[in-house]
Amino acid sequence: MAIHVVRLACERPDLLGRSLAPWDGHELARQLSAEGIVEDISASTVRRMLAAPQLKPWRQHLWRHPKPPRDAACCATIADLIDLDTRPLRADAIGLSVDEKTSRPPRPRLSPTLPAQPHHRPHHVAQEDKRAGALHLVAAFDPRSGQVYGHGADRKRPRECIAFLEAVDGAVDEPICTLQLVCDHVSTPHGQEVSMWFAQHPRVVVHVTPVQCAGMHPVEPWCSILQRKRLRMVDFASTDHLRAKLDQCMQEWHQQAHPCNWSTTSVAKIMAAAPALAA
């Protein structure tokens, strides 16, 4: 019996004529009965049979197949970015990691959100909300100091990206002669207008991460903190309200900002995987 259960669990339901995405215990039990393998079996019995081979067909793992091939140039880019993020910079240089959080809706609730109460009562958040536009946040994070430069805009265009770059360029003091920007490959800073802006500002040097290398983007941990602490339970009256709260959140972050340096273990794992990516 266990052999039949494992066999079914290792097959796609739709290839067996079922209109299902993944199997679960109840559907596996129904399929066993429909095929005449057993007259009756419970879902809990099916799950116990799947426990020994540690098989959970109701779970999924997302992955992406890289479109461009991984080659020696990709490994060289990874090595350069790791060197940039881990080596000490000169006193007249700064390194920033740039990323976007696009289409963040303010989601004004039809009923006010109620705070947590004693006796295990969590926040009460109304499911219904209204449409009130969306905000595009671009943030530049300095992993060596924890400093964040953020800019919220109503649209995602090259002119908004240039406005963000102008704000960062103006916020960084003049004694800084080199401003290293690390961007991912799908960011806005790759258009013609933005490229012209970079040409007019030689102290800004752009580095682009390879495809599917978000894990080596230093801004990602800070974006995760922002998501957990500010954006997880969104309830703002408008995009202006959301923008003001994001600005306040970044100001409060600077009161306890700290470096976000990679450990030697993390760097070793990336470098160990680099030759395999090029294979």
Domain of residue 14, residue span: 2-51
228 shares its domain with 263? yes
Judge whether 64 lies within some domain.
no
Q: What is the pLDDT of residue 173?
A: 83
CATH of the domain at 176: 3.30.420.10
User: For 147-169, how does the pLDDT look when each residue is reduced to its tens digit (9 = 90+)?
Assistant: 999 988 888 888 888 999 999 99
Domain shared by 25 and 83, yes or no: no
Q: Are 9 and 108 part of one and the same domain?
A: no
Query: How many domains in the chain?
Result: 2
Q: What residues contact 227, with CB distance under 8 A and at least 6 apart? A: 101
pLDDT at 266 over 80: no
Tell me the percentage of the chain whose pLDDT exceeds 70.
87
Does 102 lie in the same domain as 208?
yes
What is residue 209's predicted lDDT score, i.e. its pLDDT?
A: 83
Question: CA 279, CA 271: separation in Å to the nearest integer?
Answer: 14
Instruction: Examine residue 203 and state whether it is found in any structural domain, yes or no.
Output: yes
Burial of residue 99, with CB atoms counted within 10 A of its CB: 0-12 exposed, 13-18 middle, 19 or more buried: buried
Domain-embedded: residue 89: yes
* Torsional sign, CA 148, 182, 151, 229: negative
Residue 145 to residues 158, 167, 179, 186, 237, Cα–Cα distance (Å):
28, 18, 14, 26, 33
CA–CA separation, 56 and 50 (whole Å): 7
Segment 49-63 shows an average pLDDT of 89
**Same domain (yes/no): 130, 15:** no
Residues 154 and 95 in one domain: yes
Q: Is pLDDT at 99 greater than 60 in this prediction?
A: yes
The pLDDT assigned to 72 comes to: 76
Residues 225 and 138 both lie in one domain: yes
